[in-house]
A = this chain, B = another copy of it.
Amino acid sequence: MAKKQQIAVPQIEEVHEIWDLLTDEQKVYLKQSAKLQHFSKNDLIHREGEIPTHMMLLVRGKVKIYKTGVGGRTQIMRMLKPNAYFGYRAIFATNSYHGYNTNARAFEDSSVYMIPAEAASKLLHSNANFAYDFIKRLADELGASDARIVTLTQKHIRGRLAEALLFLKDNYGLKEDGKTIDILLARDDIASLSNMTTSNAIRTLSTFAEEGIIEVQGRVIKILDEEKLKKIDKLG
């Protein structure tokens, strides 16, 4: 009965927050260059080490950006929601940081505008306001990454997990009940977001639940006591 359904996604001018910074000519150029691409759940969008070909704009779904470290251990660096750009760092960097340093994988079915690297580069070179916007994005990301170094190296497990849960809440929001975090993650992903083993993520989530701070049903997590969570985030 079910027909193959056309996936509804917005036009690039609707989601591209900085569309208005472009000249008419540049708008046409961007619209022509950018191609929409769909990814299924768990699809790899780009891989660490690959030569970057596109700057990407997520318009539907959720994506994780992660690195593979010592002994294949995974570290989630960022988690994206619609309207987020990604893959652009790799295009701009020089020397040893040129190329994708990370993997990008769809958590859920996702749609992405693929903007060819040279188109992105051309636009940035020819439009200072547009460039300035990316400077701001990079500056924010760098601030976050630096902050993360201190968090992940210095905080204890409970503090890291609390921070991760608060981040998920801030990033993806809550469902209508005002409690349920609006993303479903495997324990494994929670672990590699907060730099701990899967066992410890599971254990610590259970402890938080016992303490009445959260409620857990499978992958559904409800925040019951945000203040307490913030306290743990700050003080361990």
Contacts and interface: CB of A to CB of B under 8 A. Distances in A.
A124 to B, nearest CB: 6
Interface residues of A, number: 50
Interface in A70-103: 70, 73, 75, 77, 88-97, 101-102
A138 to B, nearest CB: 4
Count identical subunits in the complex.
2
Interface string A87-130: 01111111111000110000000000000000000001111111
A50 interface: no
Contact of A143 (B101, B148, B153, B195): B101
B94 A136 contact: yes
B154 A75 contact: yes
A20 interface: no
Nearest to A121: B132
Contact of A140 (B67, B94, B140, B152): B94
A150 B69 contact: yes
A202 to B, nearest CB: 19
B97 A143 contact: yes
A151 B124 CA distance: 32
A146 B102 contact: yes
Main secondary structure of the interface of A (DSSP, over half): helix
Nearest to A99: B143
Contacts of A236: 70
A39 interface: no
Nearest to A102: B146
25 contacts: A75-B150, A75-B153, A77-B146, A88-B139, A91-B139, A92-B136, A92-B138, A93-B136, A93-B139, A94-B136, A94-B139, A96-B143, A97-B142, A101-B143, A125-B128, A128-B128, A128-B130, A131-B135, A135-B135, A138-B138, A141-B142, A142-B145, A148-B149, A149-B149, A152-B153
